[in-house]
Amino acid sequence: MTCVNRGPRVKSELSGTAKSLYLGAMEQIQAPAAATTADSRTDLVGLNSDEITALTNEMGLPAYRGKQIYQWIYQHGLTDFNDMLNLSKKLREQLTEQFRIGRPTVNTELTSTDGTRKWVLGFGDHNEAEMVSIPEETRGTLCVSSQVGCTLTCSFCHTGTQRLVRNLTIGEVVGQVMLARDSYALWPASKDNSRLTNIVMMGMGEPLYNFENVAKALRIVMDGDGLAMSRRRVTLSTSGVVPGIKRCGDELGVMLAISLHAVRDDLRNELVPINKKYPIAELLDACREYATVSNSRRITFEYVMLKDVNDSVADARELVRLVKDIPSKVNLIPFNPWPGVEYECSSGNAIRRFADTISEGGMTATVRAPRGRDILAACGQLKSESVRQRRVATAG
């Protein structure tokens, strides 16, 4: 079935300032990455307390030493064993010989006119992913990536134009949070500071297609002896990987955001192609089940506002009908353009009408204020220059 009421789609253009910043950033990103020194030592970032203790047990150390090291790494943010002052000098030397405490490399850092910061992060294999910090008056949100590129091909999303390169490791996921804490001087982890209050798995990639690594990283983030962030302050966003939603509820119970973006299967098939595998009815059934998890709160349905595509009053009424029985709220996202995209953002009036219709239907609707558009740091704008390497056949 073909989609109707689409209207003309005109390629969106960035403003002159935004385009200049974007091109400048791309020049930096495209520069060859500096060669890294091979380091065969085991990186402890990404290991939990039991795993670090197992390593120290192999060294003949008592179990409490592993817990001490774990706390130095995740509660105090230390990257040098010599700073772990409750360990003997000899032990610190042994640890330095066998282990390291890594961080992603910052290849590029950009700051928006609105204060939003974007880091282009480099990893040991020279691949890159992006992380964004969004400051507000009383809170700070860190948008963390789960993959280099993305498994999905959502038509309105810049990340979706980048083929999946690989999943990020546990250490690369939790290392993003630790790097942000470094940048804002937020150690120890229990420090009360509004500059980083919330973690959202809404960066590059589909986190439920890297569930094992993301889940373990988030357990370290939420561990009282680790980064000590409240479960209520952690949100995982998915485009609708139905089996993973149940698993997320059973094993993590974090806040859940669903990238819905359409109320009809024919349109969502185009905007969010995973809908062909997990259609709207099946997705919403998974959400109803998730809402029964004792640790979960209201589900957030994310809905990008696309001019003449999904922004009619009829769409808003259907959205209310579909999700009203699910403890939830709707977050309307004004579309953020990127070079070459064919969609346009809905008008302010259209967004207000949509929000008012949802409110009249008895649901909560919020409109996300665009942040970081001038540096391509807003929702749906993230993308790195990493590409999947072709396998080279070798003669046998």
Q: How many CB atoms lie within 10 A of CB 284?
A: 21
Residue 265 lies in a domain: yes
Distances (CA, A) of 391 to 33, 149, 343, 394: 21, 18, 35, 9
Residue 360 lies in a domain: yes
Instruction: Answer yes or no: is pLDDT of 390 > 80.
Output: no
Q: Give the range of the structural domain holding residue 331, as residue numbers without chain letter.
A: 16-29+103-375
**In this predicted model, what pLDDT tens digit does every residue of 192-205 receive, in sequence order?**
778 899 999 999 99
**In this predicted model, what pLDDT tens digit does every residue of 213-247 receive, in sequence order?**
999 999 999 999 999 999 999 999 999 999 999 99
Residue 119 lies in a domain: yes
Residues 221 and 363 occupy one common structural domain: yes
| H/E element, 371 | none
Residues 87 and 112 occupy one common structural domain: no
Residue 145: band (very low, low, confident or very high) from pLDDT cuts 50, 70, 90 = very high
Number of structural domains in the chain: 2
Which of the residues are catalytic?
Answer: 130, 379
Least confidently predicted of 18-27, 102-111, 202-211, 308-317: 18-27
Residues 335 and 364 occupy one common structural domain: yes
- DSSP 8-state symbol, 97: H
Residue 161: band (very low, low, confident or very high) from pLDDT cuts 50, 70, 90 = confident
Residue 192 lies in a domain: yes
Taking Cα atoms as reference points, which of 274, 263, 265 lies closest to residue 240? 274
pLDDT of residue 336: 86
What CATH number is associated with residue 69?
A: 1.10.150.530
Instruction: Answer yes or no: is pLDDT of 107 > 80.
Output: yes
Residues 75 and 180 occupy one common structural domain: no
Instruction: Answer yes or no: is pLDDT of 16 > 50.
Output: no
What CATH number is associated with residue 151?
A: 3.20.20.70
Residue 35 lies in a domain: no
Average pLDDT, the chain: 87
- DSSP 8-state symbol, 372: S
Distances (CA, A) of 275 to 166, 240, 283: 22, 7, 9
Q: What does pTM read for this prediction? A: 0.86
Residue 394 lies in a domain: no
Residues 223 and 324 occupy one common structural domain: yes
Residues 224 and 246 occupy one common structural domain: yes
Residues 137 and 207 occupy one common structural domain: yes
Residue 8 lies in a domain: no
